[in-house]
Structures are given as C-alpha cells and as structure tokens.
C-alpha cells in the first residue's frame, strides 16, 4: 500500500515537472517567435521605402521566424514531433545565423541556442509523461 502511494506521488511530481517544462517551452518559443518575427518584418522595410509596401518587400526576412511560429504550433499540439522539429530547426538557426557569415554576435548565438533549449524542453516534457515510475 505504501509502495503504491509513493508511485502515485512520483507520477504526480513528474506530471508537475512535465507541465512546467511544457509551459516554459510553449510561452518561451511563442514570445521569441512573435518578437523576432515582428522585428525581422519591420527592421529592413525602410530600405524599400517603408510603409506597407516596404514591409511586404522585406517579408522574406521574416520567413525563418514564421516557420518557428508554425513549428511552435506543431509542438503545442504534438509535443514529441514538434519538440524534435523545433530542436532540429533551432540547430539549423544556430548554424545559419552564427557560422555561415563573417559576423558572429553573442546575442544572436544566445537567441538561436535558446530555440534549441526550448525544443529540448518539449522533448523532456514528453519523455516525463511517458516514463513509468
């Protein structure tokens, strides 16, 4: 009887931890995605004359961040598949934005690595929900 109580308590702790990890991953990725998408959409539009026309012409700069938002939605619905996709996409962001050009900025590295970490949190949350104590 005591053993069953400990198992139930452990499962409850795992579920609380999994819920916390999932919440951090969801809202962290959503925050990063929305903020950086908006910045990427607007930041280069003055080159094209500004206004709505400039934003539309600058829209391709925001595509990676729109993809991140779509993957976040996928992870919101299917944690394991979406978490893996976000993690792999984040690794791609790290390589593309930090190691393909002549510039390396610590802030960009931290931002892109944060995407990887949040993707891993989705995977950990999914793992904790499937592990039997």
Q: Is residue 4 part of a domain?
A: no
41 within 8 A of 58, measured Cβ to Cβ: yes
Domain count, the chain: 1
Q: Does residue 28 sit within a domain?
A: yes
In a domain, 2, yes or no: no
- The pLDDT assigned to 6 comes to 47
Q: Assess if residue 6 is contained within a domain.
A: no
Q: Which one is predicted more confidently, 61 or 8?
A: 61
Q: What is the pLDDT of residues 88-119, one digit of tens each?
A: 999 999 999 899 888 889 999 999 999 999 99
Any domain includes 91: yes
pLDDT tens sequence across 34-49: 999 999 888 877 777 7
pTM above 0.75, yes or no: yes
Q: Find the domain containing 67 and state its range.
A: 12-130
Q: Does 48 map to a domain?
A: yes
Assess if residue 50 is contained within a domain.
Answer: yes
């Amino acid at each position: 009887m005591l053993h069953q109580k400990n198992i139930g308590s452990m499962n409850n702790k795992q579920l609380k931890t999994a819920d916390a990890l999932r919440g951090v991953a969801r809202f962290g990725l959503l925050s990063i995605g929305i903020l950086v998408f908006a910045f990427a959409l607007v930041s280069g539009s003055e080159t094209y004359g500004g206004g709505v026309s400039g934003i539309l012409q600058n829209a391709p700069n925001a595509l990676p961040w729109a993809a991140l938002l779509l993957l976040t939605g996928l992870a919101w619905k299917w944690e394991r598949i979406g978490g893996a996709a976000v993690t792999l996409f984040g690794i791609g962001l790290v390589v593309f934005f930090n190691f393909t050009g002549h510039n390396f900025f610590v802030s960009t590295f931290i931002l892109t690595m944060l995407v990887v970490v949040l993707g891993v949190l989705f995977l950990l949350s999914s793992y904790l929900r499937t592990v039997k104590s």
